[in-house]
Amino acid sequence: MLVVDALTKTVPGGRRVLDGVSFSVGAGEFVGILGSSGAGKSLTLRAISGLTELDSGEVRFACEDGTMCCVTRARGKALRAARRQMGVIFQGLHLVKRMTVIENVMMGRLGFIHPLRSWLYGFTDAEAREALEALDQVSMKPLAGRITGSLSGGEMQRVAIARAIFQRPRLYLADEPIAALDPRNAEAILNLLQPLSRHNPVVSTFHQPELTRRFCTRVVGIREGRVVYDGSPELSRSELAGIYGIREAQAV
Ligand SMILES: Nc1ncnc2c1ncn2[C@@H]1O[C@H](COP(=O)(O)OP(=O)(O)OP(=O)(O)O)[C@@H](O)[C@H]1O
Ligand SMILES: [Mg+2]
The residues near 150 (Cβ < 8 Å, ≥ 6 apart) are none
The predicted pLDDT at position 91 comes to 65
Backbone angles phi, psi at 223, to 5 degrees: -135, 125
Biggest distance spanned by C-alpha atoms of the chain: 60
The predicted pLDDT at position 112 comes to 58
All domains of the chain, ordered by start, with CATH? 1-85+171-252 (3.40.50.300), 93-168 (no CATH)
The predicted pLDDT at position 56 comes to 97
Q: 116-136 pLDDT, tens per residue?
A: 555 445 677 888 899 999 999
Q: Are 60 and 78 in contact (CB under 8 A)?
A: no
Q: Which ligand is nearest to the CA of 19?
A: 1
Atom of ligand 1 nearest to the CA of 35: 21
Radius of gyration of the chain (CA): 18
Q: Report residue 63's pLDDT band, with 50, 70 and 90 as the boundaries.
A: confident
Q: Report residue 247's pLDDT band, with 50, 70 and 90 as the boundaries.
A: confident
Q: Which ligand is nearest to the CA of 223?
A: 1
| Residue owning the nearest CA to atom 26 of ligand 1 | 37
Average pLDDT, the chain: 90
Count of Cβ atoms closer than 10 Å to residue 228 Cβ: 17
CA 79 to chain centre: 17
How far apart CA 25 and CA 1 sit, in angstroms, is 6
Q: Report residue 213's pLDDT band, with 50, 70 and 90 as the boundaries.
A: very high
How far apart CA 95 and CA 93 sit, in angstroms, is 7
E strand segments, the chain: 2-11, 15-25, 30-34, 56-62, 68-70, 86-89, 171-175, 202-205, 218-223, 226-231
52 class by beta-carbon count within 10 Å (0-12 exposed, 13-18 middle, 19+ buried) = middle
Q: 82-108 pLDDT, tens per residue?
A: 888 999 998 656 788 998 999 899 887
How far apart CA 252 and CA 240 sit, in angstroms, is 8
Closest CA to 154 of 132, 187, 131: 187
For the chain, count helices (H), then strands (E).
Answer: 9, 10
| Residue owning the nearest CA to atom 5 of ligand 1 | 11
CA distances 144 to 100, 101, 106, 111, 162, Å, are 7, 5, 11, 21, 11
The predicted pLDDT at position 16 comes to 96
Regarding the beta carbon of 15 and ligand 1, being less than 6 Å apart is answered no
How far apart CA 100 and CA 27 sit, in angstroms, is 34
Regarding the beta carbon of 1 and ligand 1, being less than 6 Å apart is answered no
